[in-house]
Amino acid sequence: MSEISRKQIDEFLVKEFPGKVVDYVGEGWSSFAFRVGGRIIRVPRKTEIIKNYEREAKICEFVRSFITLPIPKIKAVRGKIPYAVHRELKGEKFNNARLLEMTVGQRNKIALDSARFMAELHSIPFGEIQKTVPDLAFYKPKAVKDLKKCAAAYKGFLSAPKIKMLLAGYVAAVARANKRKGFVYCHGDFHGGNSLVDKRNKLCGVFDWCGGEINIPECDIKRVFELMPSVFDLFLPEYNRLSGRKIRKSDVSDQLLIRLVECAHDLLDQTHLVHIREKAMKDLAARAAPYVA
């Protein structure tokens, strides 16, 4: 495993795309993104992530025929500094702040669009996609994270009694989640930074398929709640109608709680994210409020 510094990336992009304007788009836990001449270039923080890009390219090629929304066509490029490239999808990144600026009708429409996307996605026969992408992650029963580390992560952001309450709820939620059945193919990372809306506020594209996996549908649906909580009560019945499933809001709530604790735990191990840890933990602590009230 070899880490790639931002300086190395900047120098590489100048050499790889001479004479081109390189615009910084953003960064995630594993990659930096840039815009170069109508294309999006993602460069990993670690060289081994090229395997994720190669898997993502196969995933996108397979799921495209099942999804009505635009899906990027990705090319993974190996080298001393590997990267992934695809043509930029048209639209603007979507978030809950933008949702609240919309009219009631627009908010409702995007909830229904998202329900259709999720229902289409979860209808994909995962046995077939596994043949195309044999290294696709498959659901495993969750193991409870190191509770001492989880408590340490929340120290200073929640009181000791609230941390105890949060972790007790987390352990119970993991136990319930491990009894869930009905596996589907999941996007794994559906959020505002990975989804696009057009000028009419219509959902018009989804990207970043690196996190694709076989899992229970609630693992995807929890991200919809995080993205658009104000219209989730419209989204969920429509998703259930289109998919033929019977997902309960309480099942989604369990997944949200699990995510709150696991993200805090994992932040302690992400040394390259130390500069955003405090801000991230404040956000996690705020979202934990309903579970420790």
Residue 271: per-residue pLDDT: 66
Q: Are 240 and 116 in contact (CB under 8 A)?
A: no
- pLDDT tens, per residue, the chain with 293 residues: 589 999 999 999 999 999 999 999 988 878 999 999 999 999 999 999 999 999 999 999 999 999 999 999 999 999 999 999 999 999 888 876 777 788 889 989 999 999 999 999 999 998 889 888 888 888 888 889 999 999 999 999 999 999 999 999 999 999 999 998 899 999 998 988 788 998 888 889 998 898 889 999 999 999 999 888 889 999 999 999 999 999 999 999 999 999 999 999 988 877 666 777 888 899 999 999 999 98
How far is C-alpha 287 from the chain's CA centre?
17
Q: Which residues are paired to 36 by β-bridges?
A: 22, 39
How far is C-alpha 99 from the chain's CA centre?
18
Q: Considering just the CA atoms, what is the radius of gyration of the chain in Å?
A: 20
Query: What CATH number labels 6-87?
Result: 3.30.200.20
Residue 1: per-residue pLDDT: 55
Identify the CATH class of 92-291: alpha beta
DSSP letter assigned to residue 158: B
Give the SS3 label for residue 139: coil
The secondary structure of 177-214 as a DSSP string is HTT----EEE-S--SGGGEEE-TT--EEEE---TT-EE
Domain boundaries, the chain: 6-87, 92-291
Predicted TM-score (pTM) of the model is 0.87
**Torsion angle of alpha carbons 165, 168, 174, 177, nearest 10°?**
-70
Residue 272: per-residue pLDDT: 63
